[in-house]
């Protein structure tokens, strides 16, 4: 069976998999890691359905996020250390619709060091925590839809539809660079994976009730 679960903030994707394994006593896999600080849709395969995950992992994703302007962190999100600061230009003078449209299409994107991607069998974030940086080959990704709006004086709100494998933290930094400043993600929610929507996501508790009934 394939299930659409909700991953809360400050939980790892693996911790949700672990809880579901405990409930079901079955093999469990997921179709793409969500950063611990993020929340939203996490698709799980249980038992023989784990074979379907390689197909689901390729589905387009939708996200909404908040970008804090003016400060860059080593992790590209709010969990990291601020490593650089830059003044923020007058956002009201910037055409955010035109800015968003400039990102639509295919791009080459390099995975961040603080990510779950494996190179030579090692997760990049494990190297990053030891202050080790290695070469990462860029991968083609596609931004299919992007909306940017001013959330606060120093905060941008974004909504993105993108291909599988897109790092929203990297996109957020690129948006800030285009504006003429720095920035990092402070909130991220995955709202959709292919046809699976957040409004239909089950909490682990609701999943347990459903499984046991």
Whether residues 96 and 185 share a domain: the answer is yes
Residue 124 reports pLDDT greater than 90: no
Q: Is the same domain home to 119 and 198?
A: no
Same domain, 68 and 140: yes
What pLDDT digit, counting tens, does each position of 65-121 carry?
A: 999 999 999 999 999 999 999 999 998 889 999 999 999 999 999 988 788 888 888
Helix/strand/coil (H/E/C) assignment for every residue in 174-196:
HHHHHHCCCEEEEEEEEEEECCE
Q: Return the SS3 of 91.
A: helix
What backbone phi and psi angles, to 5 degrees, belong to 58?
-85, -5
Burial classification of residue 167, based on how many CB atoms lie within 10 Å of its CB (0-12 exposed, 13-18 middle, 19 or more buried): buried
Are 207 and 184 within one domain? no
Q: What CATH number does residue 178 fall under?
A: 3.30.2350.10
**Catalytic residue check, 35:** yes
The answer to whether 32 touches 43, Cβ cutoff 8 Å, is yes
Is a pLDDT exceeding 90 seen at residue 168? yes
One domain, residues 8 and 103: no
Place of tokens 């494998």: 165
Does 89 share its domain with 69? yes
Domain, as residue range, for 101: 61-192
From CA 9, how far away is CA 78, in angstroms rounded? 12
Shared-domain flag, residues 41 and 69: no
| Catalytic residue chosen out of the listed positions 35, 74, 77, 154 | 35
Residues 111 and 85 in one domain: yes
pTM, rounded to two decimals: 0.93
């Amino acid at each position: 069976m394939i299930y659409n679960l909700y991953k809360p903030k400050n939980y790892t994707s693996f911790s949700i998999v672990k809880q579901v394994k405990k409930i079901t006593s079955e093999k469990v896999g997921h179709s793409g890691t969500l950063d611990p600080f993020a929340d939203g849709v996490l698709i799980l395969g249980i038992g023989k359905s784990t074979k379907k995950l390689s197909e689901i992992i390729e589905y387009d994703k939708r996200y909404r996020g908040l970008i804090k302007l003016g400060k860059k962190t080593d992790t590209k999100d709010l969990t990291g250390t601020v490593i650089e600061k830059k003044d923020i230009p007058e956002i009201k003078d910037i055409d955010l619709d035109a800015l968003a449209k400039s990102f639509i299409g295919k791009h080459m994107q390099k995975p961040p060091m603080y990510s779950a991607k494996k190179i030579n069998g090692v997760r990049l974030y494990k190297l990053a925590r030891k202050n080790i940086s290695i070469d990462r080959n860029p991968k083609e990704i596609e931004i299919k839809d992007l909306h940017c709006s001013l959330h606060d004086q120093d905060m941008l709100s974004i909504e993105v539809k993108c291909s599988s494998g897109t790092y929203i933290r990297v996109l957020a930094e690129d948006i800030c660079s285009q504006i003429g400043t720095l920035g990092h993600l402070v909130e991220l929610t995955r709202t959709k994976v292919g046809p699976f929507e957040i409004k239909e996501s089950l909490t682990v508790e609701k999943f347990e009730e459903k499984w046991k009934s």
